[in-house]
């Protein structure tokens, strides 16, 4: 009996579980002795950032003054939040903010849906020559500036002799002034933005698809899953982290709406539907010379964008495990 009891006591199934204390992580020491050459390489970039990015931020004080160039920052009258109150009381300023939100949200949604769809379709192409040709064609507009594309689009979409209206005329449709009609301008901006930006985001999503384990597809085939179910239950869930990252990081640009694009395409006829915060600040601040009011509108936009960037990074870290450091 004593021998049996001894065996039972020594049996691994009856041993007591011991809790292992978590060992604190060792903090990595900053060894400047070994990394100083790398830090020296940062110095030119830091100096340029201080001069051209952080230095001009002193001009924010104009948003709280009735700034006069001949008086300077120190002698201009201090008005506090008067320009911000004017911005929210002015109907046109609210319309500009609304235009910016509408165009940005439409670009954000289409900037995810269209590239994901194109990436999934290209993933089904087995002939590499054809696949690479399509990738090159849709990626090419990304390398062109909006100055060049703006001139091309103005000619293509012209109501008089434009290629698009010539095609519509074949079907008996009257010419449409795409860049001069408030009913068509927003749609034109979003569609042309898709044309330019889809190629880049498609490559990002294709890279996410190539990282999917092929064994998952083989197991799905054995279980009888067709291509649609493989896409729905394997490919899309595998792409979800990068989709979350791209989507959440785009929140920081939701008040931009694309100054280069709008500036090269809009005109006074479409200010009602196409004027955004950046173009409004440009006209008010630089063209009309109302520096204080323009600075106030720009500061409001920057503050909201900062909040959205922080939210975007937090969401990307929480739901996709992505972080910048």
Note the pLDDT tens digit of each residue in 36-74: 888 889 899 999 999 998 888 888 888 898 888 888 888
- The answer, yes or no, to whether residue 11 has pLDDT greater than 80, is no
Could you tell me which residue, 312 or 300, shows the higher pLDDT?
300
Could you tell me which residue, 136 or 33, shows the higher pLDDT?
136
Residue 119 has which token pair?
């990436």
pTM exceeds 0.95: no
pLDDT above 70: percentage of residues in the chain:
88
Cα distance between residue 259 and residue 276, in whole Å: 8
Could you tell me which residue, 6 or 25, shows the higher pLDDT?
25
How high is the pLDDT of residue 239?
A: 87
How high is the pLDDT of residue 3?
A: 45
How high is the pLDDT of residue 94?
A: 86
In this predicted model, what pLDDT tens digit does every residue of 188-201 receive, in sequence order?
Answer: 999 999 999 888 88
- The answer, yes or no, to whether residue 290 has pLDDT greater than 90, is no
| Closest alpha carbon to 257 in 105, 150, 91 | 105
How high is the pLDDT of residue 191?
A: 92
Average pLDDT score over residue span 152-180: 88
Average pLDDT score over residue span 160-174: 87
- If one looks up domain 78-320 in CATH, what number appears? 1.10.3720.10
In this predicted model, what pLDDT tens digit does every residue of 213-232 receive, in sequence order?
Answer: 888 888 888 888 888 888 88
Query: Per-residue confidence at 30, pLDDT binned at 50, 70, 90?
Result: low
- The answer, yes or no, to whether residue 7 has pLDDT greater than 60, is no
Which H/E stretch holds residue 65? Answer: strand 65-66
- The answer, yes or no, to whether residue 98 has pLDDT greater than 70, is yes
* Residue 66, SS3 per DSSP: strand
Average pLDDT score over residue span 28-40: 75
Average pLDDT score over residue span 96-105: 89
What's the whole-number average pLDDT of the chain?
A: 82
Cα distance between residue 295 and residue 285, in whole Å: 7
How high is the pLDDT of residue 323?
A: 67
* Residue 78, SS3 per DSSP: strand
Could you tell me which residue, 279 or 23, shows the higher pLDDT?
279
In this predicted model, what pLDDT tens digit does every residue of 306-315 receive, in sequence order?
Answer: 888 787 777 7
Say how many residues make up the chain: 325
Alpha helices (H) along 27-145: 32-49, 72-75, 82-89, 91-123, 128-139
- The answer, yes or no, to whether residue 130 has pLDDT greater than 50, is yes
b/e code 202-239 from CB counts within 10 Å (16+ = b): bbbbbebbeebeeeebeebeeeebeeeebbeebbeeeb
């Amino acid at each position: 009996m004593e021998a049996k009891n001894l065996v039972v006591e020594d049996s691994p199934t009856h041993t007591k579980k011991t809790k292992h204390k978590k060992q604190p992580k060792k903090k990595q020491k900053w060894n400047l002795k070994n990394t100083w050459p790398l830090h020296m390489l940062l110095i030119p970039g830091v100096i340029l950032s201080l001069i051209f990015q952080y230095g001009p931020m002193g001009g924010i004080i104009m948003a709280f003054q009735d700034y006069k160039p001949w008086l300077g920052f120190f002698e201009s009258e201090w008005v506090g939040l008067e320009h911000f109150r004017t911005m929210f009381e002015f109907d046109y300023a609210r319309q500009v903010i609304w235009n910016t939100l509408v165009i940005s949200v439409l670009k954000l949604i289409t900037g995810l849906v269209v590239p994901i769809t194109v990436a999934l379709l290209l993933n089904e192409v087995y002939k590499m020559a054809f696949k690479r040709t399509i990738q090159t064609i849709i990626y090419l507009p990304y390398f062109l500036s909006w100055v060049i594309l703006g001139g091309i689009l103005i000619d293509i979409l012209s109501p008089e002799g434009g290629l698009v209206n010539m095609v519509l005329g074949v079907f008996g449709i009257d010419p449409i002034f795409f860049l001069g009609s408030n009913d068509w301008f927003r749609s034109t901006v979003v569609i042309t933005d898709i044309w330019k930006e889809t190629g880049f985001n498609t490559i990002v999503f294709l890279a996410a698809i190539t990282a999917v384990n092929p064994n998952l597809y083989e197991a799905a085939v054995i279980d009888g899953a067709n291509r649609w179910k493989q896409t729905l239950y394997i490919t899309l869930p595998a792409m979800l982290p990068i989709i979350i990252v791209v989507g959440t990081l785009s929140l920081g640009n939701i008040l931009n709406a694309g100054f280069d694009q709008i500036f090269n395409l809009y005109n006074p006829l479409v200010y009602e539907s196409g004027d955004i915060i950046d173009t409004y600040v440009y006209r008010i601040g630089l063209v009309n010379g109302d520096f204080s009011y323009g600075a106030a509108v720009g500061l409001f936009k920057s503050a909201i964008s900062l909040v959205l960037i922080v939210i975007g990074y937090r969401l990307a870290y929480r739901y996709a495990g992505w972080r910048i450091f």
